[in-house]
Amino acid sequence: MTMRQTSRPLPPSVPLCGHGHHPQIVTTEGAPTGHRLGTPCPPLLHIECYRCGVATRPVPLKKAALAELRWTDPSLSHLRIPISHLARHRGEVLAELAAETPSTLIAA
């Protein structure tokens, strides 16, 4: 499967980052190039604003509330990253998830 991203506007309940900005909730599905076969690759979610050039660090889709918290809570601003670093952080998150998942040996 190739990687696919879909986006939608933030709900009105989430504050905007600036006047005239249109941040998006982005869902990424599929494995990035170089992803190790057989390791978990769940859909990831982040929030981004191209006008600010900032995004939240990706999280698994089941932890979507964490992405919103990282976007709205000023004390978590250190978990916002430049958009240009998203690919690297996506790889780090997938590696962390793979390390948490017990590996199973395949008998030959």
For residue 79, give the nearest of 64, 94, 89 by alpha carbon. 89
- pTM for this model (two decimals): 0.82
Grade residue 100 by pLDDT with cuts at 50, 70 and 90.
confident
Say which residue, 37 or 67, is predicted with more confidence.
Answer: 67
Token representation of residue 60: 């698994």
Q: How far apart are CA 77 and CA 92, in angstroms?
A: 19
Window from 13-17, 26-30, 61-65, 84-88 with minimum mean pLDDT? 13-17
Q: Which two tokens stand for residue 76?
A: 């978590």
- What pLDDT shows up at residue 42? 87
| pLDDT computed for residue 20 by the predictor | 87
